[in-house]
Amino acid sequence: MLEEQNGSKTFIIFELAGTTYAVRSRLVQQMEMIEEITPVPNAPASVEGVVFSRGRVIPALNLRVRFGFERIPIDLRTRLIVIEVGERNVGLIVDSAREFISIEASAIQPPNEAISGLSGKYIEGIATVDNRIVLILDLSEVINLAEILIGDQPAHTGAQPAKQG
């Protein structure tokens, strides 16, 4: 409703490893507390498992692992942010999330190479809201398949089957 009005856009902001991130609320389907995630054998390390969301089976992606932070146990503050990008639905596991904010388009700057850290290439822009610095995520990069499947192999990857002949 407020979306795209007066040059401002609405975002969901969440915390991850002490940093504040924002995702476009338009791409967020829902946000829920995490009860249980069913692990999937042989899935990439950042894929914690599967959950049901509105009758669909979706992957739960641990954003800490995805961005190279340390994994922490799921607690009461942990949230699953279910996003819809293109045809895909993915749940993002984040430390905590609760705010819904509107950011003026003019308050968003392109990412500064010097301050983009581990999550650098997933950052679409940087905004300052109430003296807080918020990193705006490019969700299609965050759930980029090729990168997760190839670049982010399971930690316990064993020997690949040797080719015969």
Partner 1 sequence: MSIAGPEKNSEFLAEFLDDYFAESEEHLAGARRGLLALEHFVHQSNIDRASLDGLFRSFHSLKGISGMVGVRAAERLAHQMESYLRALRDWQATLSPEGMDALIAGAGLLEKIISEHRAHAPITDPSQLMARLDAIISEARNNRPVDNSTTGSVSTEPDPLRTSLQALAIGDGKNVWRFDFVPKPELSARGINVNYIRAGLQQVGELMHAAPRVTPEGGIAFEFLVSTSEEITSFPDLFDDGVTYARQVLLPAGGAATVDVDVAAAPVEPMTASYQALSSRASNMVRVDLARLDELMRMVGDLVISRSRLDERVKHLEAALPAPEWRPLQETSLAMERQLRDLREGVMRVRMVPIGEIFERMQFVVRDLAREYEKQVKLELSGHQTEIDKFLVERLMDPILHLVRNAVSHGIEAPNERTALGKPREGTIALRASAAAETIVIEMEDDGRGVDAEQVIARACAMGIGIRGRGAGAGARGSGVGAESISGPREYEKLTEAKIEKAENIDSAELLELICAPGFSTRAEADRASGRGVGMNVVSNTIRGLGGTLELKTEAGKGTLFRIQLPLTLAIADALIVQAGHHRFAVPQASVREVIQIDASEIKILENNDVIVYRGAALPLLRLTRLFGLPEDQREYFHAFIVGSGLNTVGIAVDRILGQREIVVRVINDPLIQVAGVAGATELGDGRAVLILDAAALARPAEGRRIAAHNNGLPRPSNKSVESRTDA
Residues ≥6 apart with Cβ < 8 Å to 54: 29, 30
Chain centroid to CA 99: how far?
Answer: 15
Q: Establish if 86 lies at the interface with partner 1 (CB under 8 A).
A: no
Least Å distance, CB 52 to partner 1, is 5
Q: Establish if 108 lies at the interface with partner 1 (CB under 8 A).
A: no
Q: Establish if 52 lies at the interface with partner 1 (CB under 8 A).
A: yes
Asked whether the CA dihedral 138, 140, 67, 81 is positive or negative, the reply is positive
Least Å distance, CB 89 to partner 1, is 7
Laid out side by side, the sheet with 132-137 consists of 96-104, 8-16, 19-24, 132-137, 123-129, 108-109
Among residues 1 and 146, whose Cβ is nearest to partner 1? 146
Least Å distance, CB 42 to partner 1, is 5
Q: Establish if 49 lies at the interface with partner 1 (CB under 8 A).
A: yes
Among residues 99 and 147, whose Cβ is nearest to partner 1? 147
Least Å distance, CB 137 to partner 1, is 17
Long-range contact set of residues 107-113: C-beta below 8 Å, sequence gap at least 24: 108/136, 111/135
Among residues 74 and 134, whose Cβ is nearest to partner 1? 74
Q: Establish if 41 lies at the interface with partner 1 (CB under 8 A).
A: yes
Q: Establish if 156 lies at the interface with partner 1 (CB under 8 A).
A: yes
What is the β-pairing status of strands 123-129 and 96-104?
unpaired
- Binding-site ranges for partner 1 (CB under 8 A): 35-36, 38-44, 47, 49-52, 55-59, 61, 88-90, 143, 145, 148-149, 156-165
